[in-house]
Structure 1
């Protein structure tokens, strides 16, 4: 794995992990928009755990590349779903936020 791929993957893992922890901790900047988008509170923990699993998978991918690739695919799909959720809520100004989190996962996947 090249240095670039390693750094990009580490950044993607950090960002997904941070986002997952923020969701599980019910950080105001995360849960207020979720509520406004109509995402039921009953799934917030699952969404946070999925992000943490993706972050962990990216890290494991340093030693088991197929796990890292699958984790990157999962995170890209997760954040694509987040974009769809934001668009369905007609919060078009918020579309860049999930894209910012998706970008390093896409880059890690491309560099894998």
Structure 2
């Protein structure tokens, strides 16, 4: 189980770091995706901070499991919000990636408890 937890946590952390950098740099693809979900531009730094905190929590959780479990729980809530925002805005294009990251967050949390 630990290998699954390791893979899920590292993969999710890398994706989150890339996403946070995209938000902070206002990358065109990221801005277009968030605009379709009607996310205010002023939220980008806060969302990027939450993603970076989640990524660091997942990585630190490899050494101290309760922190990884807490980070995965927080990220699950974060991505429930992302899925809800895409659904509310009627954005079907952004729904897939947000749903995948929600699933990966849940998997990291479950695997952290089981391993």
TM-score (norm 1): 0.91
Aligned to 1:73: 73
Unaligned runs of 5+ residues in structure 1 are: none
TM normalised by structure 2 equals 0.89
Deviation at 1:94, TM superposition (A): 2.5
4+ residue runs over 4 A deviation:
none
For 1:4 and 1:61, the matched residues in 2 are separated by 14
Further displaced range: 68-77 or 14-23: 14-23
Q: Deviations over 1:24-46 (max 9, x none)?
A: 11111111121232211111110
Offset, 1:81: 0.3
Q: Distance in 2 between matches of 1:94 and 1:39?
A: 12
| Paired residues for 1:1-112 under 5 Å | 2-112=2-112
Show structure 2 runs of 5+ residues with no match. none
What RMSD over aligned residues (CA atoms) do the two structures have, in Å? Answer: 1.4
